[in-house]
Amino acid sequence: MSPAVVPADRPLSARLARWRVPVGFVCGLAVLWLARPTAGSIAVGGAIALVGEAIRVWAAGHLEKGREVTCSGPYRWTAHPLYVGTTVMGIGLAIAGQSLPVAILAALYLGTMIPLAIRSEEATLRARFGVRYDEYRRGVVVDRERPFSWARVMRNREYRALVGFVVVMTLLLLKLGVRS
């Protein structure tokens, strides 16, 4: 369902959460425009963002999105490792951009859209999985550890976040080259 077709009877937070990706693209363009990267900021911020992407890949390799509740891999320690990874990536990219407006925009986006997405996702998971999801949130083990799977990473389309990371870092490097 595209953001423009979200039913009006859904809670406002769920409707806003559906806009996180398009809003993220707009914020990303603003970040690239406002960024004042240096070689050092790109190195430090890029390393931090890469850790965020690694968290996302690890999480995506343990989850069958929309089909289960799992406590495998990073889900053993946090209910939302994909959002943790996204937040770490956002912080890293803000550091790479080395600009106060970039940091403010990243903080506003992450501080607004991620909690909205989490609330919406939790409501969906609670509706879909009921008591199983509630037990998971209380720390009751709902399944056993399973091995990481690259096939799950691909089914969860995590390659899109990796491509986005590479594109943004490349554009920051190009901007650095233009400024030098």
**Is pLDDT of 93 > 90?**
yes
- Residue 137 CB partners (closer than 8 Å, separation 6+): 79, 122
What pLDDT shows up at residue 23?
Answer: 85
Tell me how far the alpha carbon of residue 95 is from its chain's centroid. Answer: 17
- pLDDT by residue (tens digit) across 34-49? 999 999 999 999 999 9
Residue 174: half-sphere exposure toward Cβ, Cα within 13 Å: 8
More confident residue, 27 or 179: 27
User: How would DSSP label each residue in the chain?
Assistant: --GGG--TTS-HHHHHHTTHHHHHHHHHHHHHHH----HHHHHHHHHHHHHHHHHHHHHHTT--TTT----SGGGGT-S-HHHHHHHHHHHHHHHHHT-HHHHHHHHHHHHHHHHHHHHHHHHHHHHHHTHHHHHHHTT---S------HHHHHHTTTHHHHHHHHHHHHHHHHHHHHH-
- pLDDT by residue (tens digit) across 109-148? 999 999 999 988 898 899 999 988 888 888 876 667 789 9
What pLDDT shows up at residue 172?
Answer: 95
| Over residues 8-30, mean pLDDT | 76
Calpha distance 62→40 (Å, rounded)? 34
Of 11-25, 30-44, 78-92, give the lowest mean pLDDT range: 11-25
The encoded tokens of residue 150 equal 């690259």
| Over residues 81-100, mean pLDDT | 96
Calpha distance 27→14 (Å, rounded)? 20
| Over residues 73-89, mean pLDDT | 94
CB-based contact 150:60 (threshold 8 Å): no
Calpha distance 149→22 (Å, rounded)? 29
The encoded tokens of residue 90 equal 């956002």
What pLDDT shows up at residue 179?
Answer: 64
Per-domain boundaries in the chain:
19-179
Q: What is the pLDDT of the chain when averaged over all its residues?
A: 88
